[in-house]
Structure 1
Amino acid sequence: MTLFVHLTSEKNVRSVRRAGIRASGRSHGGLSGVFCLPILPSYQLTHQWVRELRRGGRRTIVAVDFRIPDDEPVHVGHYGREHARLPSAEAAALIAGRDDARGWEVLVPRTITAGEVHRIRGVNQVTGWRYMPNAHGVPPCPDCLQRGEYGSARIRRRAESSGF
């Protein structure tokens, strides 16, 4: 059984305990399911999506650890790119074997039942990257920022004055 972690808002904890993790979301390939990552030796890599998820307006993020069979097919890949369909154990090994696993994700194409949930725990709220891996020092795309987002007006003004 492969152990994965799904990051969700703290307000969803009661629902996850009662009914599991509902399959939702859409990746760039049009797939829906439960986004997760395998539990890796590096805390930073395992919880790399926390800051990016908080950027979307979620206040407190919690980790939901769950187990699925090693041979269950999942989709794995770098966000924004094509995902490969592999057994869950191979997907976990693929991510663990990467030199730089930032930006990788696993998509389980079904709902995770409450019986498969191993535990729910708090996580460090400032772990991970924002915008994209290696974004430090690179200005964000002005068109990608939402109106009212912290610092977005300043970034747009700077981009307009430089002819970006």
Structure 2
Amino acid sequence: MPSFVHLASTADAPRIRRSGLRAVSHGQGGARGVYCFPVLPSYTLTHQWLRELARFGTRGGLVAVQVRLPDDERVLVGHYRDRHREAQATVPAAEAVRRIAALDDPRGWEVFVPRPVRPRELHRIRTAPQVVGWRYRPDAHGTRPCTCFGCRLRGGYGSRRLSERHPHPLDGPPPPTPVLLARIAATEDPGVLRESLHWLGLRRRGPLLQLAPLADHPDPAVREDLVWTVARWSTPGVAALLDRLAADPHPDVRAAVAAVREADGDGDGD
């Protein structure tokens, strides 16, 4: 029976011993299950995902949960990038181990079990050193991390200092809010207004009252950008402003409101 390691928060260890591993992760095609990695002769490769998973927050650090699956258990195997292209292969568990063990560089590979792991399939749970493995991606050490809005981990250790030292031309860090509001108050130029809205949209909250008059701006592109800017905010009054923009005469503005509300599950934003 092939052995695999799943990394979990230390605080979850008692529940895992009692009930097994829940199928809470999402694999390719929307399947729900458990991610793991084969137990290889190399301790470092076996636990390669530890530092990357630790970036997203843990409760008391991470533990290694070792599980044993039947040889013919159907699992998905592939590189993590293949997950998004739905190119991972469905193979027996024993074949997944053989494929990964035969690779010259198995970093970034993963095995996905499309079901919960039962308690009787657990072999042992043990502590693991918290400094093993790569972060961001294999071979990322020695290269400058990307500070774009999509790549950076907001609130992560050192993320603010990193973005200040290596600002991204489009994603900041943004100018201070008073500077942006002064630019908005001093012009009707759509280009300047849209750039200022872009920077304000990177914030979690913002000056909603000062931006509300832009809902009447003659350029529909400015009104549409206003939708995308305030939709991300937790500021009270967002829902009311979106209600107003939902009745905008321009179809692009109305479509933007519909899109953000569909993405939020029709949340009220207040």
Same fold (TM over 0.5): yes
Instruction: Give the alignment's TM-score, normalised by structure 1.
Output: 0.93
- How many pairs align? 164
Q: Gaps spanning 5+ residues in structure 1: where?
A: none
Alignment partner, residue 75 of structure 1: 76
Deviation at 1:162, TM superposition (A): 6.8
* Higher RCO (C-alpha 8 Å, min separation 6): 1
CA deviation profile, 1:78-98 (whole Å, cap 9, x unmatched): 012121101000000100110
Q: Distance in 2 between matches of 1:101 and 1:53?
A: 17
Q: Secondary structure at the match of 1:80?
A: helix
C-alpha RMSD over aligned residues: 1.7
Deviation at 1:6, TM superposition (A): 0.7
Q: Secondary structure at the match of 2:26?
A: coil
- Name the aligned partner's letter for residue 149 of structure 1: G
| 1:98-113 superposed matches below 5 A | 98-113=103-118
1:28 and 1:80 in contact (8 A); partners too: no
Alignment partner, residue 89 of structure 1: 94
Matched, 1:136 2:141: yes
Alignment partner, residue 121 of structure 1: 126
- Name the aligned partner's letter for residue 16 of structure 2: V
1:63 and 1:121 in contact (8 A); partners too: yes
Q: Distance in 1 between matches of 2:168 and 2:105?
A: 35
| 1:17-96 superposed matches below 5 A | 17-58=17-58, 59-81=60-82, 82-96=87-101
Alignment partner, residue 161 of structure 2: 154
- Name the aligned partner's letter for residue 48 of structure 1: Q
Instruction: Give the alignment's TM-score, normalised by structure 2.
Output: 0.58
Q: Distance in 1 between matches of 2:89 and 2:76?
A: 5
1:63 and 1:123 in contact (8 A); partners too: yes
CA deviation profile, 1:107-141 (whole Å, cap 9, x unmatched): 00010000110111111110000000000111222
CA deviation profile, 1:31-77 (whole Å, cap 9, x unmatched): 32110011000000000011011111114110111111001110001
Q: Secondary structure at the match of 1:160?
A: coil
Q: Distance in 1 between matches of 2:170 and 2:64?
A: 42
- The answer to which structure has the higher helix fraction is 2
- The answer to which structure has the higher strand fraction is 1
Query: Percent same amino acid at aligned positions?
Result: 52
Q: Judging changes above 3 Å, is the alpha-carbon distance between structure 1 residues 45 and 151 closer, same or farther for their aligned structure 2 residues?
A: same
Deviation at 1:28, TM superposition (A): 5.0
1:21 and 1:113 in contact (8 A); partners too: yes
- Radius of gyration: which is bigger? 2
Deviation at 1:160, TM superposition (A): 2.7
Deviation at 1:159, TM superposition (A): 3.5
Q: Judging changes above 3 Å, is the alpha-carbon distance between structure 1 residues 115 and 161 closer, same or farther for their aligned structure 2 residues?
A: closer
Q: Distance in 1 between matches of 2:42 and 2:141?
A: 20
1:49 and 1:128 in contact (8 A); partners too: yes
